[in-house]
Structure 1
Amino acid sequence: MDQLPRLIATDLDGTLVRQDRTVSARTADALARCTAVGAQVVLVTGRPIRWLQRVYEQLHGTVPAICANGAVVYDPVDDVVLRADPLAPELLAEVARRLRAEVPGVRLAVEITDGRQMRHEADWPLRWEAGDPDVRGIESPEELFSLPAVKLLARAGTQDPDVFVQVVAGAVAGLAEATHSSSSGLAEISAAGVTKAAGLAWFCARYGLRADQVVAFGDMPNDLPMLAWAGRAVAVANAHPAVLEVADAVTLSNEQDGVAAYLEELYGAAESAA
């Protein structure tokens, strides 16, 4: 990549967002300055749409988002989904059948209505979403697969996340993609071919941008396809070992505003000339 990137693609949790779920003022300022000199910023996240508002409140304006690990491309200005690539109900049912047969104690949840709602089995462990009206338990097993889902989530107690996702990936091989961004054993399952890279590639094609015009930031295994696709791959210092191994560069941790630090150096000269 000989020229400044025209598009900045960044993961959220563990990359742009700090442990306390905030985006620093320095990071928000850095993204705004990059936008001012002509770069497009895109959030590329495993999060569903309903988790984006708090991030937007901390940025200087809204930017497009690729959610659910590439399954949803979202325009927050008009609050519309530009593209969705969900698991069909019949496919969900077959994936669930395989998981229940091959993964002892597995518990399932689905992100539906493009990630605006979640449905989960009765013993699914809720954390910060307890009490959210868009998140509720199912009344029958069939309800879990009554609608297309942009993501199927699987847990089986606290597990080594790398080991658990390998087990899940083996169970759904040939039907779906499995990845993780968890430290406690949460597998994230998408339709076959759906990754952050696929969602970002679709977005870039829509606006006439090439992979070699993109710089991407990430920290976890679900970021690996995006980092491999982008012209420049940057890991934060706190990243998973697999991410650190493939990155073209390593910046400071998310707690130290690593994305901002990298962008300040990369775009500083362009900002001065603008």
Structure 2
Amino acid sequence: MGELPRLVATDLDGTLLRSDGTLSTRTVEALGRITAAGVGVVLVTGRPIRWLHHVYDQLGEPLPTVCANGAVVYDPHTDTVLRADPLAPELLAEVVRRLRAEVPGASFAVEITDGREFRHEAGYEARWDYGIPTSREVGDPTELHAAPAVKLLVRAGQQDPDAFLRVVAGALAGLAESTHSSYSGLVEISAVGVTKAAGLAWYCARHGVDAADVIAFGDMPNDVPMLTWVGRGVAVANAHPAVREIADDVTDDHNADGVAAYLETLLGTAGREVSPDSDAAHR
């Protein structure tokens, strides 16, 4: 460390957010300080657009967001999807066909309309989307692949997430991207080449930022492509072993404000290098 990056990219759940889904005052203040120092901040998450307002409300101001594991780049200030890379209906149909053949008890859901709407079949547990207007159970399973989807989700009861991912990825090799970010056996499927790294790379290219000038934070396997693409990848202490293995640094647990702690240290170090008497060095 010692020099500020041009951009900070951070995952949300398990990384920036605490276990109860909240942002601490310390974290909000650290993000404000890094922004005031001239560093951009972008959120990079598996979440869909419809789950972002809870985070934006806590931040006080919305931040640009790469959603759906890189499939959607969203400008919340104008409520505009800048880029979307969905699974085409015919591809969705083939993915579902293969997984029904390979995975006993598989049930599916899709994120459509750039992730603003959610469709699921009867056997799929909706959880966060249960009972909300943008969520609907389909009567005919073919409705799941009637429209382009930025993400397909598959469950098959409670599963070891890493083992289940290997099964799904093996069945879909060369056809689609598979990853996970949960401990309950939920696998998230995107179009080939769609990852958090790809979405962030598109955003960075749009703003003239090189990968070497980006620091990113994450905790789960869906963060691995992003953390290996950026100049410095940082895992929170609660991160999945696959994330800790590839990370350049490890910061504190997400419940201990690990991202904020890292940014505070970065700001302090950079400030001292500029001038021991500068305001930044004493923040």
- Please report the TM-score for the alignment, with normalisation by the length of structure 1: 0.98
Q: Map 1:136-215 onto structure 2 (within 5 A).
A: 136-215=136-215
Amino acid at match of 1:252: D
Q: What is the distance in 2 between the residues matched to 1:54 and 1:263?
A: 23
Residues 176, 192 of structure 1: 8 Å contact kept: yes
Q: What is the distance in 1 between the residues matched to 2:108 and 2:39?
A: 39
Q: CA deviation at 1:62?
A: 1.3
Q: What is the distance in 2 between the residues matched to 1:34 and 1:2?
A: 14
Counterpart check, 1:33 vs 2:41: no
Q: What is the distance in 2 between the residues matched to 1:50 and 1:128?
A: 11
Residues 118, 129 of structure 2: 8 Å contact kept: no
Deviations 1:11-31 (A, max 9, x none): 000000111010111101100
Amino acid at match of 2:91: L
- Could you tell me which residue of structure 2 aligns to residue 266 of structure 1? 266
Deviations 1:220-248 (A, max 9, x none): 00000000000001000000001011111
Q: What is the distance in 2 between the residues matched to 1:191 and 1:148?
A: 11
Q: Map 1:1-274 onto structure 2 (within 5 A).
A: 3-268=3-268, 269-270=270-271, 272=280
Residues 236, 254 of structure 2: 8 Å contact kept: yes
Q: Which structure 1 residue ranges, 4+ long, deviate > 4 Å from structure 2?
A: none
- Could you tell me which residue of structure 1 aligns to residue 275 of structure 2? none
Q: What is the distance in 2 between the residues matched to 1:108 and 1:66?
A: 23
Amino acid at match of 1:264: E
The 3-state SS of whatever aligns with 1:46 is coil
Deviations 1:92-126 (A, max 9, x none): 00000000011111000000000000000012112
Q: What is the distance in 2 between the residues matched to 1:190 and 1:106?
A: 17
Deviations 1:51-103 (A, max 9, x none): 00000001131110000000000000000000000000000000000000111
Amino acid at match of 1:27: T
Aligned residues: 274
Q: What is the distance in 1 between the residues matched to 2:172 and 2:83?
A: 24
Q: What is the distance in 2 between the residues matched to 1:265 and 1:82?
A: 33
Q: What is the distance in 1 between the residues matched to 2:69 and 2:280?
A: 35
Deviations 1:141-182 (A, max 9, x none): 221111100000000000000000010001111110000001
Residues 211, 230 of structure 1: 8 Å contact kept: yes
Q: What is the distance in 2 between the residues matched to 1:191 and 1:89?
A: 11
The 3-state SS of whatever aligns with 2:12 is coil
Q: CA deviation at 1:272?
A: 1.1
Query: Percent identity at matched positions?
Result: 69
Amino acid at match of 1:228: T
Residues 7, 41 of structure 2: 8 Å contact kept: yes
- Where does structure 1 lack aligned partners over 5 or more consecutive residues? none
Amino acid at match of 2:78: D
Residues 29, 60 of structure 1: 8 Å contact kept: no
Q: What is the distance in 2 between the residues matched to 1:170 and 1:229?
A: 24
Q: CA deviation at 1:127?
A: 1.7
Q: CA deviation at 1:2?
A: 6.8
Decide which structure has the larger Cα Rg and report it. 2
Amino acid at match of 1:148: P
Residues 153, 189 of structure 2: 8 Å contact kept: yes
Q: What is the distance in 1 between the residues matched to 2:168 and 2:280?
A: 49
Q: CA deviation at 1:9?
A: 0.3
